[in-house]
């Protein structure tokens, strides 16, 4: 029997010799697969060859094949990434709201000290410069925390800066609160808590994406600033009430906007990076503080 085969050009080459697994000098190697009652031999040139997976040893394979395959072989890498993203996002949300809770507790404590400590309250009444001196310090700290990435991300410097800002902001709020009746301050604090909690639940449950409304909120902010100048010129109590209502509406929308940035998810176009938990807590804190100030003005005018 002629063991040669033809090429396309009509030439003949001898066929490879029969595969012999016991011959160590054979230029060919092969793997035997059992099919039915017979064997099929796959012959390949000798040399390094991709090993087979561990589960293929029954078919004559080798454990080394597992090393040549990616780790996610046989699984869905998309599901793994989604799981990791969800886990990281949940941890980020916990850190943000824990930090925010501590900030609010410190702020409430400072405001109560200004309201019920007679010496401190009388000092603030007789020294109005104290309130005005806190404002530039607050602005400097806000700009530093917003613009300096290292200050926000480097532990423990970020917590020190945020704690210093919270104390200064609380002192400024306390120095403002002493010029209102304690009952109006308590009503404003209670209304702020209810509104903030309700809007946070709304932002978590709704599928409406408020993260795309950044431009609208920016225009609304500058419109409110212009309206404030208009109120300062006319000095009308009714215009002050309208201004307080518009300010409450604006920072209610900002609270929903920032909450959705923190939550992220498939229904949101934009989201805050999990590394920016200090900036996220600062954003929510400023929304709640401004909401409290406008509600305090509203309750103070309506009494």
pLDDT of the residue at 23: 53
pLDDT at 256 over 60: yes
pLDDT of the residue at 165: 95
| Distant-in-sequence, close-in-space partners of 107: CB < 8 Å, separation ≥ 6 | 166, 169, 170, 173, 289
Q: What is the 3-state secondary structure (H, E, C) of the chain?
A: CCCEEECCCCCEEECCCCCCCCCCCCCEEEEEEEECCEEEEEEEECCCCCCCCHHHHHHCCCHHHHHHCCCCCCCCHHHHHHHHHHHHHHHHHHHHHHHHHHHHHHHHHHHHHHHHCHHHHHHHHHCCHHHHHHHHHHHHHHHHHHHCHHHHHCCCHHHHHHHHHHHHHHHHHHHHHCCCCHHHHHHHHHHHHHHHHHHHHHHHHCCCCHHHCHHHHHHHHHHHHHHHHHHHHHCCHHHHHHHHHHHHHHHHHHHHHHHHHHHCCCCCCCCCCCCCHHHHHHHHHHHHHHHHHHHHHHHHHHC
pLDDT of the residue at 303: 60
pLDDT at 15 over 60: no
CB neighbours of residue 224 within 10 Å? 16
Alpha-carbon gap, residue 258 to 284, rounded angstroms: 7
Share of the chain above pLDDT 90, in %: 42
- Interval 171-181 mean pLDDT: 92
**Are the C-beta atoms of 252 and 291 separated by less than 8 Å?**
yes
pLDDT of the residue at 234: 85
Q: Enumerate the domain spans of the chain.
A: 4-68, 77-302
pLDDT of the residue at 24: 54
pLDDT at 68 over 50: no
pLDDT tens column, 100-133:
999 999 999 999 999 999 899 999 989 888 888 9
pLDDT at 89 over 70: yes
């Amino acid at each position: 029997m002629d063991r040669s085969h033809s090429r396309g050009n009509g030439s003949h080459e001898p066929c490879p010799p029969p595969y012999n697994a016991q011959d160590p000098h054979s230029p060919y190697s092969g793997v035997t697969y059992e099919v039915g009652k017979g064997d099929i031999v796959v012959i390949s040139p000798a040399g390094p060859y991709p090993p087979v997976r561990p589960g293929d040893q029954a078919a004559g394979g080798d454990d080394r094949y597992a090393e040549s395959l990616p780790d996610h072989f046989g699984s869905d890498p998309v599901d793994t990434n989604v799981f990791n993203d969800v886990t990281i996002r949940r941890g980020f949300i916990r850190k943000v709201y824990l930090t925010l809770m501590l900030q609010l507790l410190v702020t409430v404590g400072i405001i109560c000290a200004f309201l019920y400590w007679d010496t401190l309250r009388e000092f603030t009444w007789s020294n109005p410069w104290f309130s005005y001196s806190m404002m530039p310090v607050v602005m400097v700290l806000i700009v530093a925390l917003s613009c300096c990435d290292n200050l926000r991300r480097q532990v423990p410097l970020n917590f020190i800066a945020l704690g210093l800002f919270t104390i200064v902001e609380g002192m400024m709020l306390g120095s403002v609160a002493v010029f209102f009746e304690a009952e109006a301050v308590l009503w404003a604090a209670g209304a702020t808590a209810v509104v903030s909690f309700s809007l946070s639940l709304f932002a978590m449950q709704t599928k409406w994406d408020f993260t795309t409304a950044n431009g609208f909120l920016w225009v609304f902010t500058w419109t409110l600033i212009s309206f404030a100048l208009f109120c300062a010129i006319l000095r009308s109590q009714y215009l002050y009430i309208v201004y307080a209502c518009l300010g409450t509406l604006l920072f209610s929308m900002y609270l929903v906007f920032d909450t959705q940035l923190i939550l992220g998810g498939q229904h949101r176009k934009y989201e805050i990076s999990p590394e920016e938990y200090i900036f996220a807590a600062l954003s929510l804190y400023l929304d709640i503080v401004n909401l409290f100030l406008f509600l305090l003005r509203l309750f103070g005018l309506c009494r």
